[in-house]
């Protein structure tokens, strides 16, 4: 196992200070290791996640070589030749577990933002104290965007949030964490080869969730109540002005509708599985409030916005992969984790084999199947 940094590198280096997992503690489990502390319904801090993964590395006896940067992987002699910062390796099979979120995804028009406005991505953001005074424009309203808008608003700054397609969820539903329902009702176990639109499922933004000790819902209504101004999806920059799409009403209705459909699925499961009596009564939530007037443009040169925070998602980085298995959009071509190159596999990518594939707790089932495939490959007729 080659790791360019340290064990749990992404949690140590690429997250902001206040972040907690949005998955509850009881869901932080890896084969042979689970959370056994006093607060199963709480959410781990970054220090706690790092310690948990370090402990897993020890308990599992994983042969990790830290400080080993893989700079190239290419086909050679029926297998692969791997170049690293600590030497060359020949191998018959490769498992790509380099993560789905190696780089922040920032739209190209960020280049046209006037130099007077500071720009940050979640990789560079640590906390509000690092920002100058003045207004902040947070772009993107998925898990990262809503959490940063919340934290920056609480720091006293005026915050505008640019909202594109998003997934709305309550933190708790009928007395349980909403992720408990995703798990229990089987939604998270839905398999990649059973989904109607796999490409869409793989592109779905993260849900508007935060892991706070209060277990509070952090949806757009909560942010509006705090004084965050909502604007539409940021579409372009023209003459130093940010141009936002209209149609917030439609976008909000769609997110509300999808949330309700998901809650219907949970209720249906509770009824058929006999859980109805144990859970609280079904709940429905107020529709997302549409601002009376949503601005369609904002003058970036006016001084109103001092900083832009791009919470527009993340993408993987395969710059080191010299095997033609990456598509034009920079995503790995694979079938349930088997890449388009014999003996090459992947883990930890969105809906790799199940909806839960990119979550810490989702890896176990995927890994078992992918490694089963790999073992058959090594034992099969293609073996060297």
Ligand X SMILES: Cc1cc2nc3c(=O)[nH]c(=O)nc-3n(C[C@H](O)[C@H](O)[C@H](O)COP(=O)(O)OP(=O)(O)OC[C@H]3O[C@@H](n4cnc5c(N)ncnc54)[C@H](O)[C@@H]3O)c2cc1C
Nearest to 370 by CA among 353, 356, 382: 353
Q: Which of 140, 313, 348, 350 binds ligand X (CB under 6 A)?
A: 348
Alpha helices in the chain (DSSP H): 9-13, 46-60, 143-154, 178-184, 198-203, 220-225, 248-272, 363-379
Which of these ranges, 20-28, 172-180, 287-295, 367-375, lies near ligand X under the rule CB under 6 A? 20-28
Give 83-139 as a 3 state SS string.
EECCEEEEECCEEECCCCCCEECCCHHHHHCCCCCEEECCCCCCCHHHCCCCEEEEE
Rg (CA), the chain: 22
Q: Is 210 exposed, middle or buried (0-12, 13-18, 19+ CB in 10 A)?
A: buried
Query: Does residue 208 belong to the site contacting ligand X (CB under 6 A)?
Result: no
Regarding 141 and contact with ligand X (CB under 6 A), the answer is: no
Verify binding: residue 127, ligand X, rule CB under 6 A: no
Q: Minimum CB separation from ligand X for residue 32, in Å?
A: 17
Shortest distance, position 247 Cβ to ligand X, whole Å: 28
Map residues 62-81 to x or -, x wherever contact with ligand X holds by CB under 6 A.
Answer: -------xx-----------
Closest to 334 measured CA to CA, from 383, 382, 370: 370
Q: How far is the CB of 151 from ligand X (least distance, A)?
A: 13
Task: Copy the structure tokens of residue 334.
Answer: 């694979």
Task: Count the site residues for ligand X by CB under 6 A.
Answer: 24
Using DSSP's 3-state secondary structure scheme, residue 264 falls into helix
Residue 48 as a binder of ligand X (CB under 6 A): the answer is: no
Residues of span 306-345 touching ligand X by CB under 6 A: 314, 320
Task: Give the nearest residue (CB) to ligand X.
Answer: 99
**Residue from 57, 101, 117, 120 binding ligand X (CB under 6 A):** 101
Which residue's CB is nearer to ligand X, number 105 or number 290? 105
Q: How far apart are CA 80 and CA 75, in angstroms?
A: 5
Pick 252 or 345: Cβ nearer ligand X: 345
**Which residues bind to ligand X, rule: CB under 6 A?**
2-5, 9-10, 15, 21-23, 69-70, 97-99, 101-102, 144, 314, 320, 348, 358-360
């Amino acid at each position: 196992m080659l790791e360019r940094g340290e064990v749990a590198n992404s949690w140590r280096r690429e997250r902001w200070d206040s972040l907690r997992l949005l998955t509850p503690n009881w869901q932080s489990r890896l084969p042979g290791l689970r959370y056994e502390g006093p607060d199963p319904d709480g959410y781990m801090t970054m220090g706690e996640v790092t310690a948990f993964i370090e402990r897993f590395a020890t308990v599992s006896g994983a042969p990790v070589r830290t400080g080993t940067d893989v700079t190239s992987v290419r086909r050679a002699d029926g297998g692969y030749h791997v170049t690293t910062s600590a030497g060359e390796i020949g191998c018959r099979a490769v498992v790509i577990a380099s993560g789905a979120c190696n780089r922040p995804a920032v739209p190209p028009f960020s280049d046209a933002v006037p130099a007077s406005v500071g720009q940050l991505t979640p990789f560079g953001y640590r906390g509000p104290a690092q920002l100058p005074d003045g207004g902040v424009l947070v772009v993107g309203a998925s898990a990262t965007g809503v959490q940063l808008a919340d934290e920056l608003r609480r720091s006293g700054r005026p915050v505008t949030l640019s909202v594109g397609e998003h997934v709305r969820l309550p933190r708790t539903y009928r007395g349980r964490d909403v992720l408990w329902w995703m798990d229990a009702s089987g939604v998270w176990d839905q398999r990649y080869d059973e989904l109607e639109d796999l490409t869409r499922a793989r592109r779905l933004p993260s849900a508007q969730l935060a892991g706070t000790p209060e277990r509070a819902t952090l949806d757009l209504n909560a942010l509006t109540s705090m004084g965050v101004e909502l604007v539409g999806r940021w579409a372009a920059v023209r003459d130093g002005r940010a141009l936002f799409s209209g149609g917030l009403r439609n976008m909000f209705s769609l997110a509300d509708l999808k949330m309700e459909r998901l809650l219907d699925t949970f209720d249906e499961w509770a009824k058929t599985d006999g859980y109805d009596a144990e859970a609280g009564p079904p709940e429905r939530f107020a529709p997302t409030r549409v601002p009376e007037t949503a601005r369609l443009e904002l003058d970036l040169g006016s001084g109103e916005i001092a900083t832009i925070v791009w919470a527009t998602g993340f993408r993987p980085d395969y710059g080191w992969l010299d095997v033609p298995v990456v598509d034009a959009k920079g995503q790995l071509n694979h079938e349930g984790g088997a890449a388009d190159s014999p003996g090459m596999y992947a883990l930890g990518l969105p809906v790799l084999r199940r909806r839960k594939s990119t979550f810490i707790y989702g890896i176990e089932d995927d890994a078992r199947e992918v490694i089963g495939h790999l073992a058959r490959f090594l034992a099969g007729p293609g073996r060297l």
